[in-house]
Homo-oligomer: A and B are copies of this chain.
Amino acid sequence: MEIKKAASRSNAGNDVTLVHPQLAKLFSIVEGDIDDDNFAQGLDVAFLALPHGKSAPLAKKLYGKGVKVIDLGADFRLKNLEEYKYWYELEHECPELLAESVYGLPEIYKEEIKKKSIIANPGCYPTSAILGLAPLLANKLIALDNIVIDSKSGVSGAGKTLTQQTHYPELNENLQAYKVASHRHTPEIEQELSLLGGTKLQINFTPHLIPMNRGILSTIYVKSLKSFTNKELEEIYTEYYKDCPFIRIRDKNHLPQTKWVQGSNFCDIAPIYDPRTGKIIVISAIDNLVKGAAGQAIQNMNLMFGLDETTGLKYGAIFP
């Protein structure tokens, strides 16, 4: 693969190393204008990282010119237009393209991803939540009306926009939940868990902001329909993910830590059965910027172009 073009609105005309000085001496490209009609020319695939509502029309334009699209934003994630309108407070601008798109979670949709032209790259929280729950839902092992997903994220998930909440002295040495019962990743998680569970379900999802740069840890509580040993649970997960190079099953004595996935495309998962309460607690960890965003986008690109899924992604966490 070759990076042929880069474009933005705020940085058009500048070299990328102006915004990203860490790339100096490694990479240099003058950013173009994202609205330039010739932008699509010479491209096989484009990665879009835009606010919701902004990527749909651009994706349409690119699709019309035969360019495949991997959208890191939200516009193609929700299949239900009503839900999109309710949660994002917008009419979808090109609903006809939804049929051309697929939810880009390769562990679930590998075959569709190979065939589709538009990939809705999943949100960071949904990636950690869905991967944590898929084996239980697919195997019909849990109650569907009592799913609690308590997620904790590093601050890079909040983006580059300056806010009081992400001002260093306010956030450092602080801990808080936000958007309780109202975060926009909720319908995305529910959509995918419903498909896996075979019925429309609802969840409780609470995101938290953690004073660190990267990483999401989700702690998931579900009611088990039967009792297990932890070993049995681990085997169910291992079997379910047996063809997935980026999933690692951990156990109760080696619980996932975000540091073990920091900077890598891995998702580490440990399912634990609590015999006292009959619940299963699942811990899942990803790097929100890699498996939760850019790394997963590369993984999707690899699949779309018939490359080995791990191309360019075969590296471990940066430690410490």
Contact = CB atoms under 8 A, between A and B. Distances in A.
B255 A180 contact: yes
Interface in A11-55: 20-27
A176 interface: yes
Nearest to A259: B174
Nearest to A282: B180
A203 B166 contact: no
Main SS of the interface on chain A? loop
Given A316-B26, A318-B318, A155 B169 contact: yes
B248 A283 contact: no
Contacts of A23: 316
Interface string A205-236: 01010111111010101010000000000000
A260 interface: yes
A220 to B, nearest CB: 10
Given A274-B204, A281-B206, A219 B320 contact: no
Given A25-B245, A245-B25, A281-B180, A150 B219 contact: yes
Contacts of A258: 173-176
A148 B221 contact: yes
Contacts of A24: 248, 260
What 7 A-B pairs have minimum CB-CB distances, sorted nearest first?
A: A169-B320, A22-B317, A181-B274, A174-B259, A162-B162, A150-B150, A22-B260
